[in-house]
């Protein structure tokens, strides 16, 4: 007890009244001369504890040459690194291929598509990732979307392009489909996004910001959202010999199931593009979309960006979901 408070208590006892001093009364005793009546309590304000300024959030350091992170609801940029520079995008181009199919008016997702030998030959010729579609099998359009987006099957992407393009030959139909992909890019205002293949094996290019916008568009479709959040798909199809073929496809996106809240979207890897990833995650009512292009550690980069957007520190303890030994890598 300070000397002033003791003086105040002594004065109160000397006046014939024993006062129970609250901190507020003690405060009054410090500022009010003993010869005057103390003001009423409401004339004093309780002192405020000084607030420590919150440190500014540090932008994450990532390995990718290009990257973008946006708020899914508003489109507001939360992070960018050469976000408007066009780069090769590898198999993330299949996001656009799927969008062209799903945006087709009255699309029949249960339509049966026969697998042609040309689809398998394409994979062999280009060394592409594959869904291992078997010649003569009949898969639905829905199944082909799983086959193109989970194991990143170039054979499945070819089947979709051949089915939804127009023309009298495979080449004409695939060229028509690629033209639709570029038309869709124009409709979405993606001025720096160009396609010359249906599977990302060409010189297809985009910017991190525009890939994020493409992803936001694609994720408005229920079927697309369902497909890209699936870790493993198992299905069956009529085989050419009249029997049933069973397919199992694993999602090449290892961030899915490894970082809490991730809901997709697509990997991509070629020598010119490096390792690429388009991703999305939801926590509560907040959804973030991001892209990393040409990264030496795409999953760590994506986790750091999501931490930045959500204000968490999960990237430090990230353990990637293991893929089966026979699964495709992309």
Dihedral, CA atoms, 301, 305, 311, 314, nearest 10 degrees? -30
Q: Which residue has the tokens 């049966």?
A: 112
Cα 229 to Cα 225: distance, rounded to the nearest angstrom: 6
DSSP bridge pairs for 235: 247
- b/e per residue, 288-303, with b = 16+ CB within 10 A? bbbbbbbbeebbbbbb
Question: Which among 68, 91, 205, 295 is annotated as catalytic?
Answer: 91
- 91 catalytic, yes or no? yes
Other Cβ atoms less than 10 A from the Cβ of 119: the count is 25
Question: Which among 152, 197, 205, 206 is annotated as catalytic?
Answer: 152
Cα 25 to Cα 44: distance, rounded to the nearest angstrom: 10
- 94 catalytic, yes or no? yes
* Structural contact between residues 292 and 90, judged by C-beta atoms closer than 8 angstroms: no
Question: Which among 94, 184, 266, 304 is annotated as catalytic?
Answer: 94
- 231 catalytic, yes or no? no
Cα 330 to Cα 60: distance, rounded to the nearest angstrom: 25
Q: Which residues are annotated as catalytic?
A: 91, 94, 152
């Amino acid at each position: 007890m300070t000397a002033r408070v003791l003086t105040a208590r002594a004065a109160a006892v000397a006046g014939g009244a024993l006062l129970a001093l609250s901190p507020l009364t003690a405060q009054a005793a410090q500022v009010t001369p003993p010869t005057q009546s103390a003001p009423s309590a409401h004339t004093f304000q309780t002192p405020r504890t000084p607030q420590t300024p919150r440190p500014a959030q540090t932008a994450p350091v990532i390995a990718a040459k290009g990257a973008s992170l946006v708020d899914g609801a508003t489109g507001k940029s939360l992070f960018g690194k050469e976000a408007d520079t066009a780069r090769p995008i590898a198999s993330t181009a299949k996001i656009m291929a799927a969008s062209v199919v799903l945006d087709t008016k009255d699309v029949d997702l249960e339509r049966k598509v026969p697998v042609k030998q040309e689809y398998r030959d394409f994979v062999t010729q280009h060394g592409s990732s594959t869904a291992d579609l078997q010649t003569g099998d009949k898969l639905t359009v829905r199944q082909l979307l799983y086959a193109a987006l989970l194991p990143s099957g170039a054979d499945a992407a070819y089947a979709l392009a051949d089915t939804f393009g127009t023309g009298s030959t495979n080449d004409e139909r695939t060229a028509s489909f690629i033209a639709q992909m570029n038309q869709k890019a124009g409709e979405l205002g993606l001025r720096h996004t160009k396609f010359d293949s249906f599977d990302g094996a060409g010189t297809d290019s985009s910017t991190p910001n525009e890939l994020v916008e493409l992803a936001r568009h694609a994720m408005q479709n229920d079927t697309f959202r369902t497909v890209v959040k699936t870790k493993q798909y198992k299905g069956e199809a009529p085989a050419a010999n009249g029997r049933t073929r069973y397919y199992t496809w694993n999602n090449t996106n290892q961030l899915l199931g490894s970082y809490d809240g991730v809901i997709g979207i697509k990997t991509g890897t070629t020598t010119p593009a490096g390792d690429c990833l388009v991703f999305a995650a939801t926590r509560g009512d907040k959804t973030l979309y991001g892209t990393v292009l040409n990264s030496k550690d795409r999953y760590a980069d994506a986790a750091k960006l999501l931490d930045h957007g959500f204000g968490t520190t999960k990237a430090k303890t990230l353990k990637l979901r293991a893929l089966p030994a026979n699964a495709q890598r992309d």
